């Protein structure tokens, strides 16, 4: 995952606008879905051919062409040329490691987004680039895999007289963004759950490798942040371009998405601070633990080393050691040792070590 | 509490504007209170029916409808439709995990606030979402529980010719916000008290788990901050929309609330820095404590280990050890040991360990 | 001191504009001083009655009413009503835990400031709220105690044709602010001195509780900062309201005060970073100290434990231990021990432990 | 490398505009390459003489003069004078330790950039200053060495009807910048690889000097950041100067470069946070390791020191020690010791030390 | 040095505009240098009298009066009065602990700068306040000592038709600033050198007091920063006041100085981060060192304490210890000890402690 960020290098040196697909081929064949709809009609063609898709958008309907699978560079180039899309945009669609962004062109808006999924195998995020181009009467969307992310929209369209059918391509674009952002909340909940598990372990002081766990979670949060921060700018860009391509009605809904991105960012920042503070708790309990260990050692050593010294004195073999011959010498020494031990224990108790 | 933040997910996938109540049902039946007042008249109807509330606001009076309990989605939908409120606003009222925000619509302003209480059982904050919609001559307010937060306003209204009765719905909105913010000061005092207790323990160095306590308080402060930061923007938004829905007179009072939010934020930041610094004190005393423990161990070991070695030498059983037969051998060895001990002690004293 | 910040709560629930004095009663009776002056005349009346003070300001003179002691709420209410001051301003004068602020009203400017003193008993700051209201031809000032802070101004006025006499109430306001800010420099010098004492102790490594000392100083600095940061905004506010109530001449002098607040803030930030860095030095010397202690223990233990083991071998009572009967056995063992000790010492020297 | 940053001092004291080359002479002779091209024609003259280069730019062609090697101050001075370049610009070209910057003059734009390479010997970056001056119909570029950085452009030009040939000098400038930025991605990948190697070692806890490695990488990242941050401003400057020297067409491409610099900055920030977090993991495992070591010591010492004390008691030589004569004394003592050891081990197990 | 920052207090309580010199008297007599020049003429009068200096600036020449030594308050007051300088400016010239600043007055600009030198005795910076006042046709400059900082300008003037002679007082002001900033680069190089020395010691792990050294350098950098940050604003202020007192020509040169201050600030920030990271390396090697020490202690103790216990068993004097009478008892015990030691060593090796 981590080296996905700086993959652009494979085309370093080529002139700008060179069309090269930089992701992994995740689908055998690209799938095109052509949907032409308005409040009255709805004609979805799944597995459409390229030729079917090269339609002219009309004033009264919305033409939505969705492409799953990006490795057929030629197909995508012909499709975008048909809609007069700038070569740099086509390049950005194919280069799947984009930072989320919105770019305004004369007749259309280009959005590059990152959908997030959770890969249960690598225990990490799974990003998929979603590119959206929309203008008056048409919307092109591109994704790497055939994930069922957008199937819900087809359902909504099919169901009939919803707000979606009545509005234009800008509302469709909003709906796509809304679905992607909704997905983020699910990831956020997962992350929150993971954090609580680690938190419980740290509070109970049973996780020796807490620092490593916290590190892993933080790295995931950085990846999340990398996606969500620019997204806010994207939505803000759309909000500000109010009037031309984005209608006032859609603008109100976009404001809602904007609030959601802010809410996600707030939560991520909160998680981040929380992880930092958890690390402090962990480090402090490591030191506490060492204090505990050292205290045991010190008590034992301080108690027995002087006593052993005394008994070693009377273990010496000097010929003239008068105490050795005393009748009460042995019990006297034992008594002395006992008194010393008691004094030591009282000292420890006063120091609050016992 | 903590997963309240990312609860929106339960409706992920539904079309926007779908009305679903995402909180817990905290009241058996929703209670409606209809109050129509101006400087001259005041007619409160507690436990009003929905039909009673579907009145048309007049120019000369202020109509205040207060709803406690949000789980009757249908009731709230009908009420808001009557006042021509946008579906997204109704959705936000029902979704009780909103970030505080202010949204301007053509004929009304929508405020989403979070009232804070202290839950003595979970030892944590207790947030309750308060939604306020106000326009010319009317104000709708919604809260989850039937807490007596707004009973004070009824009292003020009942008491007669106060500023509240003479002004319009914008002043009523201000009064509601002011009551919520006043509540924050109480929480702040509680937090301040808790911090001082922990501080005293840390300064006296008797709290082994100080890091954990500090962590807990910090988490609470983050929750507080999450509520207060956006509130500042909300009040600022109201201040800037001066003239249309908010009169100049009310604006001066709102400036006062704004100052209070700044003051709360300042205090929270101060608390935050203070907790960070307290952690430093705690960590430093942990290390100090270990130094103390190690010093005791080192003194004892350094004093007795060499002495024990000497006595162990004269405990050896070699046949030819001339010293053993000396008459003064035993006292001489004792003297040597004494001198060694004294030298050691002087060394420790010079090192400032004693 | 610390809970002074969130004292507003005692009036939580009361309607805004309720006049309640939230400070401590520091004076038996409030003292009013009425001074009417211009370049030609100067009439100070100390211990004026309220009735004397209810004068009408004239175009050609400056009327300065100074009130020491705020607990007579009624007196202050009548005075401010006479000058048509907004009830919220009167509330702010009485509530002595304000954040420094400037508020512009139609005919006057309201400034709330905090004078700092050093309380030698509590070893902490001593804040006193100074409220200033000034308009064309008049200035009202309020302070909690009868500290001689403003006696200097009376002296300057008495002395005759100074700039103070020639200018209007805005210049008088500037002079009051200037005196308060000058006081801050004295506190800053005290703080600087305290920091240097702690610094010397930390550098000399003789302060075991340095972390606690640094904590205490930092807390004081936070209090200072809480006063000085908003003050900068206050002065900036005055500078920007150039023209109407503040003349260009006074503006140039205010710019000077502004520079001083910046200078104080810079110094506080510098102190802050310095304290942080001093903590690092302290923590590092704690660890150094422990290394030192551990080194002594390790050297002694590593030197004598093996030697003691050897002598304990020859202290065993086996009947058949041929070495015991050797004539040179004893000196040979002593020699072996000596060689072992020398090797150990060489090892320590190579490790730079000796 | 590090003192390259503050080398300007060698000319401290000279009047501004004094032309002194402050870098190292990296080439024997400066090489001039003159290229005059438009969509139809392309005339490259490698190893051109200065006289050949002193041409007058025409309206219909783009004149590109590229200089490799900067130590011939006179040559560069004459060249820039011919194109009416301000003396300060010429000074900046020769002073090879500039911060990347863009400066607008009446008829031309001056860009100072830093190309990065990786020096495999010093294990550090290798910066080379690239200066670009472009105006209507001409572009001058200067670099210290004859690195093949710009050879690719010659190839593109030679290849014929590319976008490069059809556009003017602003597009050529863009292409130069794009090549430099592409180079950064390669460095970024190298850095990312190095970080992962250190990360793996830290996670596996086998790198004792991880702190030092992290320090080294961080230093390199600071150098990178020093180049990339001002670059963003440079590109932004170009974008904003849209219309005059930079055409709208080129602006779209520059926006692409701008996105790349943002992406690089994001990645660097991410790396930075990651390194900080890795340090935390490292420090925590150092403490963990010490806990481990101390635990072993404590277990052994706590187990055997008391036992040794008991046996030393019965090693004393008192004449009257009744236990010594008991027949079962020896096995009884061994049994006592065994019981003590078992109790100790159970204690350790309960403490989770075993 | 450190208390220089808050010295203003000595005049606390005096009315603003009171002229008191707050620095140390560093020169016996103030020296005045009067220079009147334009492109054609150049008349320097060193050791001019005050009367000679009270000239009227003309349209065609630039009059430069330079004052070394500030303790003659009266002389400076008369000089500034002659040029109609505001009393606050004169106060700022005499108060030698100003923060660098630029202030615009009707007919002149006032700049207060801090020249830095390195005091080899106190091992610290040596600041000297330089005040510059310039208007149409005249420039007054003031410095505390007679350092040869500005002698270079006299040389440049004497040399004839330079840019300096052809331009007006604003260019002279630029030249003065440029010389001061050039000086900073020298200091920066010194600082850089010091940092590298400490860095090498820390990397080689031979500096026990690295934390203290880093602290000292950081303090110096704070002082540097305190001078350079406001300087940037000063230069920026001059740049923005383009047109009136500062000509466009000089503006281009000032932009160059502005770039230099940015470059210095960048380097300081870089140094700062580097020192922080060096501290991390140092703290981590302290802990590493302790691990090393503890490991030696643990190995020795763990190896010999059990062995000593065994031999102490056979040192007991019980009458019935059958092993003692065995013929192979002694070698058997030695063998057991050897096996135990080997097992221990293998354990340590597996733990990577050896």
In B, minimum Cα distance to A196 occurs at: B2
Facing residue for C13 by CB, picked from B182, B203, B288: B182
pLDDT digits (tens, 9 = 90+) for C126-142: 888 999 999 988 999 99
pLDDT at C123 over 80: no
Residue of D nearest to A215 (CA): D277
Cβ contact B156–C15 (<8 Å): yes
The mean pLDDT value for B280-302 works out to 90
Give the closest residue to E251 by CA, choosing from E150, E127, E167: E167
What integer best gives the mean pLDDT of chain E? Answer: 86
The alpha-carbon gap from D306 to the nearest alpha carbon of chain A, in Å, equals: 6
CA of C263 vs chain E CAs: smallest distance (Å): 7
Which residues in chain D have their CB less than 8 angstroms from residue A212's CB? 203, 281, 284-285
Q: Do A182 and B9 touch (CB under 8 A)?
A: yes
Token pair recorded at residue E246: 């500062």
Lowest pLDDT segment from B236-245, D59-68, D109-118, D289-298: B236-245
Mean pLDDT for E329-336 is: 89
Residue to substitute from D17, D227, D293, interface E, most E β-carbons within 10 A: D293
Sheet holding B138-143, edge to edge: B42-48, B31-37, B62-68, B138-143, B124-135, B108-119, B101-104
- Count of CB atoms situated within 10 Å of the CB of D157: 19
The answer to whether the Cβ–Cβ distance between E185 and D6 falls below 8 Å is yes
* Mean of pLDDT values over C274-301: 90
Q: Residue B67: beta bridge partners?
A: B32, B142
Contact A316 D317 (CB under 8 A): yes
**% pLDDT > 90, chain C:** 33
Please tell me the distance in Å from E255's CA to the nearest CA on chain C.
25
| Among C157, C182, C151, CA closest to C171 | C157
Contacts of B146 (CB under 8 A, 6+ apart): B27, B31, B68, B69
Q: What pLDDT, on the 0 to 100 scale, is given for residue D25?
A: 67
Q: Which of C316-320, C332-336, D304-308 has the lowest mean pLDDT?
A: C316-320
Q: What are the residues whose beta carbons fall under 8 Å from the beta carbon of E75, sequence distance 6 or more?
A: E30, E50, E67
| Interface with A, mutate which of B3, B16, B110 (most A CBs under 10 A) | B16
Report the pLDDT averaged over residues E213-227.
90
Q: Find all residues with CB under 8 Å of D337, minimum gap 6, and list them.
A: D307, D310, D311
Give mean pLDDT, residues D336-354: 90
* Structure-token pair, residue D146: 């004859």
Mean pLDDT for chain C overall: 86
The yes-or-no verdict on residue E20 having pLDDT over 80 is no
Which tens digits make up the pLDDT trace of E178-209?
Answer: 999 988 988 888 889 889 999 999 988 877 78
**Predicted confidence (pLDDT) per residue in B115-136, tens digit:** 988 777 777 788 889 999 999 8
Nearest chain B residue to C11, by CA: B182
In the predicted structure, residue B12 carries a pLDDT above the cut 60: no
| C contacts of E208 (beta carbons < 8 Å) | 288
Q: What is the number of alpha carbons within 13 Å of residue A178 lying toward its C-beta?
A: 25
| pLDDT over 60 at E7, yes or no | no
Q: B256 vs C286: CB contact, 8 Å cut-off?
A: no
ipTM value > 0.90: no
Is there a contact between C305 and E307 if contact means CB atoms under 8 Å apart?
no
Substitution target from D7, D15, D233, D282 for chain E, most E beta carbons within 10 A = D15
User: Has residue D64 got a pLDDT over 90?
Assistant: yes
Residue with tokens 């030498």: B313
**Of residues D115, D116, D238, the one with CA closest to residue D172:** D238
The pLDDT value given to residue A1: 37
Q: How far, rounded to the nearest angstrom, does the alpha carbon of residue B282 sit from its chain's CA centroid?
A: 23
Assess whether pLDDT exceeds 60 at residue A12: no
Q: Which residues of E touch C313 (CB under 8 A)?
A: 311, 334
Nearest to B185 among C12, C311, C312 (CB): C12
Please write the tens of the pLDDT for every residue from A123-138.
778 888 999 999 988 9
Helices B169-203 & B210-240, crossing angle to 10 degrees?
A: 160
> pLDDT tier at C268 (50, 70, 90 boundaries)?
very high
- pLDDT classification of E9: cutoffs 50, 70, 90: very low
- The rounded distance, in Å, linking the Cα atoms of C338 and C324 is 19
| pLDDT score of D176 more than 50 | yes
pLDDT tens for D112-153 read 999 988 777 777 788 889 999 999 889 999 998 877 778 888
Q: What is the pLDDT of residues B44-68, one digit of tens each?
A: 898 888 888 888 888 889 999 999 9
Residue to mutate among E202, E330, E345, with most C CBs inside 10 A, is E330
The number of C-beta contacts closer than 8 angstroms across A and B is: 157
Q: What is the DSSP string of B100-153?
A: PEEEE-SSEEEEEEEEEEEETTTTEEEEEEEEEEEETTEEEEEESS--GGGHHH
Pairwise pLDDT comparison (A354 vs E264), residue with the higher score: E264
Q: Collect contacts of A100-108 with beta carbons under 8 A, ≥24 apart.
A: A100/A227, A100/A230, A100/A231, A100/A233, A100/A234, A101/A230, A101/A233, A101/A234, A101/D259, A102/A233, A102/A234, A102/A237, A102/A238, A103/D255, A104/A237, A104/A241, A107/A135, A107/A136, A108/A83, A108/A133, A108/A134, A108/A135, A108/A245
DSSP-assigned letter for residue D147: -
Do the beta carbons of residue A166 and residue A244 sit within 8 Å?
Answer: no
The pLDDT value given to residue A166:
85
pLDDT number for residue E16: 66
Q: By C-alpha distance, which of B268, C308, D284 is closest to A312?
A: C308
**Global pTM value:** 0.86
**Cα nearest neighbour of A172 on chain B:** B15
pLDDT digits (tens, 9 = 90+) for E80-135: 999 999 988 998 898 888 889 998 888 899 999 999 887 777 777 888 899 999 99
Q: How many residues does chain B have?
A: 354
Cβ contacts of E329 on chain C, cutoff 8 Å: 318-320
Which of A3, A9, A312 would best serve as a mutation to test chain D binding (most D beta carbons within 10 A)?
Answer: A9
Residue A72: phi and psi, rounded to 5, are -85, 85
| C-beta of residue B17 within 8 angstroms of C-beta of residue A156 | no
A142 pLDDT more than 90? yes
Better pLDDT: B268 or E96: B268
Q: Looking at beta carbons, which residues of chain D come within 8 Å of A16?
A: 175, 178, 253, 256
How close E334 comes to chain D (CA, Å)?
17
Chains with 3+ CB–CB pairs under 8 A to B are: A, C
pLDDT at B11 over 60: no
Q: Do D318 and A329 touch (CB under 8 A)?
A: yes
């Amino acid at each position: 995952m981590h080296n996905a960020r700086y993959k652009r290098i494979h085309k370093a040196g080529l002139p700008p606008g060179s069309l090269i697909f930089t992701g992994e081929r995740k689908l055998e064949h690209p799938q095109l879905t052509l949907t032409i709809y308005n409040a009255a009609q709805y004609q979805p063609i799944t597995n459409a051919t390229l030729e079917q898709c090269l339609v002219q958008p009309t004033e009264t309907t919305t033409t939505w062409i969705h492409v799953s699978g990006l490795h057929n560079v030629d197909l995508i180039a012909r499709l975008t040329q048909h809609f007069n899309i700038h070569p740099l945009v086509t390049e950005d669609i194919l280069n799947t490691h984009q930072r989320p962004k919105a770019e305004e062109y004369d007749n259309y808006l280009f959005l590059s987004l990152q959908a997030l999924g959770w890969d249960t195998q690598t225990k990490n995020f799974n990003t998929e680039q979603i590119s959206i181009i929309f203008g008056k009467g048409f919307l092109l969307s591109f994704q790497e895999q055939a994930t069922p992310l957008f199937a819900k929209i087809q359902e909504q369209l099919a169901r009939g007289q919803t707000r979606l059918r009545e509005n234009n391509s800008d509302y469709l674009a909003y709906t796509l963004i809304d679905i992607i952002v909704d997905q983020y909340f699910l990831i956020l909940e997962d992350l929150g759950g993971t954090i609580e598990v680690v938190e419980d372990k740290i509070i109970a002081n049973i996780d020796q490798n807490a620092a490593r766990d916290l590190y892993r979670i933080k790295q995931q949060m950085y990846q999340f942040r990398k996606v969500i921060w620019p997204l806010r700018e994207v939505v803000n860009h759309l909000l500000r371009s109010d009037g031309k391509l984005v209608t006032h009605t859609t603008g109100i809904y976009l404001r809602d998405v904007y609030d959601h991105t802010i809410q996600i960012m707030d939560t991520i920042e909160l998680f981040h601070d929380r992880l930092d503070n958890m690390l402090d708790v962990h480090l402090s309990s490591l030191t506490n633990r060492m204090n505990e260990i050292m205290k045991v050692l010190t008590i034992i050593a301080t108690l027995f080393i002087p006593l052993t010294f005394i008994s070693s004195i009377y273990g010496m073999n000097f010929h003239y050691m008068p105490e050795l011959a005393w009748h009460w010498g042995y019990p006297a020494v034992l008594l002395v040792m006992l008194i010393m031990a008691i004094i030591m224990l009282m000292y420890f108790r006063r120091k609050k070590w016992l």
